[in-house]
Amino acid sequence: MPADTAEEAQRRARILPRLQDARGRLQPLLGDQTLLVALLTAASLGAGLAEAGVLALVAQVAAALVDGGDRLSTDLGPASLDVGIGPALALAAALASIRLALQLVVAWLPARISADVQAKLQTDVFGAFSRASWPTQADDGEGHLQELMASQILRATEAVLHLATFLSSSAMFLALAISAFLLSVPVAAGVMVSALVMVILLRPLNTIGRAAAQRLSQAMMDQAAGVSEAVRLTEEAQVFGTATDHRHKVGGLIEEGRRAFFRYQLAGRMTQNSYQSVIILLIVGGLAGLYLTGAGNLATLGAAILILIRAASQAQCAQAAYHGLCQSIPYLDRLQQAIARYRSSTPADGGSPLPVIRTLAMEGVSFAYTPERPVLGHLAFKVAAGEAIGVVGPSGAGKSTLVQLLLRLRTPTSGRFLVNGEPAERFARTDWQHRVAYVGQDPRVFQGTVADNIRYFRPLDDATVERAARLAHIHGDIVAMPAGYDTVIGQRADAVSGGQRQRICLARALAGEPDVLVLDEPTSALDSESEAAVASSLAELHGRVTMFIIAHRLSTLTTCDRVLVLADGKVEAFDTGAELARTNAYFRRATQLSGQAS
């Protein structure tokens, strides 16, 4: 965010712009709920007027009873009231009932509005994340989205509740103040002045509260990231005996959170408590004012005092809600910034249909994750349909990066990636996703049956799922599982072995019958027998599917027509295995080493 100018800071320090600021942030969330918000304000106004009426009548009746009279008469602004005690009490009861009904509406509306807003925020955040580009998703810190979706949204939703409370309390305050004006102008003036003083006196506390909330929001995000990392590394911590170090690291984040939470709570509570004390002082001051001006009779004075106390309490509620609203804004800001960041990264969709992939070509392609450190430089090669291409090279050479470009997960920093001779980005992403499949270096399964893991949300029948499983040489393992294809697998207790996971994910890739198959180390977790089996599956696909196979173990590459040797982000050689064995030192050495290993 750009630094606030002095003018901006001054603008922000004013209450009205701040409320408009909050409203501006909440408006897109409230959307079609604006009517409900208006209803809430109207109901609160009505409840406040009804309450003022009850209080005025009660005070007058009490005064009449003290005087021993059976009628009461009072001035209500320009109008005057003169009724018996019985009808006055009946009127008071009716007004109290109306107030009760309106209060129920006032309770129901914020609950309804905030539940809707919370669900909308969650849908927006998750929707924007899932549509974001892969680089943006991959750059997100560990546990970032989880934390946004859980406590940050919860706190942002409080902004709506605070706004609702602010509106209803202000409306009730207004109703009471109007009633007070009707009864006695000095009392009403006292109420108004006191409210104004309140707001001015406590303004700095709101600014402090907002800053504290900002710090707390950040501390919570950091803590979530730290805890997620520690959870991911629990096995390592057990083996390396580093649990204490993890505790120390997370402990530091907890301490940071403790300090931020303390400041946040302190700011909130100081505001509330100072407010209460100032109110008591102002009530005393208001009474002194009445005494000095000698305004009104005893009954009017009693009614005015009652209304003054209730108005002050509504003003306090409105003030606390306003403070809460200030404290919720940083959470809302963080969410809206995250949504904007995700949305702005959403890749444009070319839209051209892609019925078949015939050729893939890189033309002078370079790529850098960060501007100062190029990873791939001037790649140029062309691959025809049905070719099987091996990609080898030392660790860190850029093989997985090349895979990400081939999958259109990332776009070249310069140069062009051509599909059927046209820039890849012209084609519809969904068509591309149907024609290209992938098994990554660390393939993942989700909590669900084996069949669902292979199907992966696509409308594939059981026969297709089984065919893919057979092709990936996992069918035998699956039928040996307790419930066969219906066995539930997942990340932790019901996990499958590393090699099984790799083959289930290979089956997932094959089940969609892709034109292009990209495999990043497809046999790294397999024993020699499974590796040979997968190699024979790949041999079966040879000619039908264009394949890119990244491998450290060159034995996996027997099916490949050509092998691309990548070194330090450049194409060092691109030829048949036989030719490379003759001309390329890296390939020769790697072949010798994998020969020794097998």
SS3 of 300-345: the string is HHHHHHHHHHHHHHHHHHHHHHHHHHHHHHHHHHHHHHHHHHHHHH
Whole-number Å distance between alpha carbons of 447 and 356: 33
Question: How far lies 527's CA from each of 206, 590, 597, in Å?
Answer: 64, 19, 12
How many chain residues interact with ligand ATP (CB under 6 A)?
A: 11
DSSP codes, 180-225:
HHHH-HHHHHHHHHHHHHHHHHTHHHHHHHHHHHHHHHHHHHHHHH
**69/246 Cα distance (integer angstroms):** 79
By CB under 6 A, residue 395 contacts ligand ATP: yes
Q: Please choose, out of 66-74, 209-217, 397-405, 429-437, the segment that lies near ligand ATP by the rule CB under 6 A.
A: 397-405
Determine the interface stretch with ligand ATP among 147-155, 184-192, 392-400, 494-502 (rule: CB under 6 A). 392-400
By C-beta, is 369 or 456 nearer to ligand ATP?
369
CB neighbours of residue 553 within 10 Å: 18
Binding-site member from 360, 375, 392, 519 for ligand ATP (CB under 6 A): 375
x/- string (CB under 6 A) for ligand ATP, residues 112-141?
--------------------------x---
Closer residue to Mg ion (CB): 399 or 473: 399
594 in contact with ligand ATP (CB under 6 A): no
Stretch that binds ligand ATP, among 194-202, 308-316, 348-356, 390-398 (CB under 6 A): 390-398
Question: Which span sits near ligand ATP by CB under 6 A: 61-69, 340-348, 394-402, 432-440?
Answer: 394-402
Touching Mg ion, residues 400-429 (CB under 5 A): 400
CB of 557 to ligand ATP, least distance (A): 14
- Is 80 near ligand ATP (CB under 6 A)? no
Residue 105 region, left (φ>0) first, then alpha (ψ -120 to 50), else beta? Answer: alpha
Distance in Å, CB of 581 to Mg ion, minimum: 23
Measured distance CA(180)–CA(186) in Å, rounded: 9
Q: State yes or no: residue 410 binds ligand ATP (CB under 6 A).
A: no
Report the nearest approach of ligand ATP to the CB of residue 510 (Å). 22
Dihedral of alpha carbons 350, 352, 353, 356, sign:
negative
- Integer Cα distance of 450 and 457 in angstroms: 12
- Residue 375 interacts, among ligand ATP, Mg ion, none and using kind-specific CB cut-offs from 5 to 8 Å, with ligand ATP
Orientation angle between helical segments 34-67 and 85-131, nearest 10 degrees: 160
- Could you say which of 46, 398, 415, 577 contacts ligand ATP (CB under 6 A)? 398
Scanning the structure block, which residue is given the tokens 């959170």?
Answer: 257
Does the protein bind ligand ATP through residue 400 (CB under 6 A)?
yes
Taking the least distance from each CB to ligand ATP, the nearer of 275 and 438 is 438
Nearer to ligand ATP, 397 or 439 (CB): 397
Question: Nearest CA to 231 among 247, 218, 217, 220?
Answer: 247
- Which of 179, 328, 401, 502: binder of ligand ATP (CB under 6 A)? 401
**Quick one: which of 61, 290, 397, 472 contacts ligand ATP (CB under 6 A)?**
397
Nearest position to Mg ion, beta carbon? 400
Q: Six-digit token pair at 258? A: 């403790």
For CA atoms 418, 420, 426, 427, give the dihedral sign.
negative
Tokens encoding 372: 């100062």
Classify residue 84 by its DSSP letter.
E
Residue choice 126, 134, 181, 369 for contact with ligand ATP (CB under 6 A): 369
323 binds ligand ATP (CB under 6 A): no
Instruction: Report the C-alpha gap between 594 and 582 in whole angstroms.
Output: 17
391 binds ligand ATP (CB under 6 A): no
Q: Which of 52, 289, 317, 303 is CA-nearest to residue 178? A: 52
553 binds ligand ATP (CB under 6 A): no
Write out the residues near ligand ATP by the rule CB under 6 A. 138, 369, 375, 393, 395-401
Write out the residues near Mg ion by the rule CB under 5 A. 400
